[in-house]
Amino acid sequence: MRTAAPTPAMVAGLDRLDLIARLVVEGFLVGLHRSPYHGFSVEFAEYRQYIPGEPVTHMDWRVFAKTDRHYLKVFAEETNLRATLLVDGSASMGFTAGDGRPTKLGYARLLAASFTHLLLRQNDAVGLEVFDEAPRVSVPARAVKRQLFHVLKHLDRLEPGRGTSLGAMLHRTAERLPRRGLMLLFSDLMDEPEDILSGIKHLRHRGHEVIVFQVLDPRELDLDFKREARFVDLERPGRRVRLEPAHVRAHYRERVADWRRTLRRGCRRQRVDLVEISTDTPFDRALLAYLSKRKRMS
């Protein structure tokens, strides 16, 4: 369904993360006629006509006895979901090829802030974990209004850090957060695929649902630079190479495609949603992926 959520370009000139998050979420919800996810509910909201084949758990048999028609009770949402935002704050996330696009970390920050706003709006508990090769930020999950301030305060200050140790950090998170919940990972996944998938498997073994948002710059996918360029390893700045992109573009794209296929297959085996997005992708795609996962969890 088409939404009215702002794009990265539309919010590029705004400084306040809380304002951006609210604009993204409210713009997204404008495109939804009604909430598509009814959670663990206790408050009756309305009736709707029964569709043959649906579960009859919420069938109102009294109404059936009076009208000889089948109606289901629809409830106002009241959930107890615990969600933790896992943000990769490593140096590689600081990359952007320009053209008005944010860095990968900038895009991930905006997404994480938007999810915080959306989840708290739904009365869910939200927590935050930021790491590079070591833990950097840990905010325990809570479902209170002040949580928006606590999470956004850390996201607002977030800058690219050091090297990547994503697999190890996922294993650590799985050990530290044993209570089952939803894990939302925002990362470029630039680490050994086997290590990342091992960490994801550990999270799944602990009973967590997982959605992975792989955030990449469009030029990392196509290497579509028009002239000779110098490339610097952001996590090991001493490693530099100057080359003509056109000479290696075809081979580079093949290697990237193989890498992404490996990650897709591994996530699929673990029944984990992998959402591949670039820093020019409208935010609503990520939000819709979350809602799809949420509906399957309910």
> For the chain, which residues make up each domain, given as ranges?
8-33+79-297, 43-76
Report the mean per-residue pLDDT for the chain: 84
3-state helix, strand, coil in the chain (%, to 5): 40, 20, 35
Residues 125, 241 contacting (CB under 8 angstroms): no
Query: pLDDT-based confidence at 76, cuts 50/70/90?
Result: very low
Q: Which residue has the higher pLDDT, 282 or 30?
A: 282
Residue 247 vs residues 19, 56, 226, 244: alpha-carbon distances, Å: 44, 62, 11, 6
E strands within 60-104?
71-76, 82-88
Look at domain 8-33+79-297 and name its CATH class.
alpha beta
Q: Residue 3: which pLDDT band, with cuts at 50, 70 and 90?
A: very low
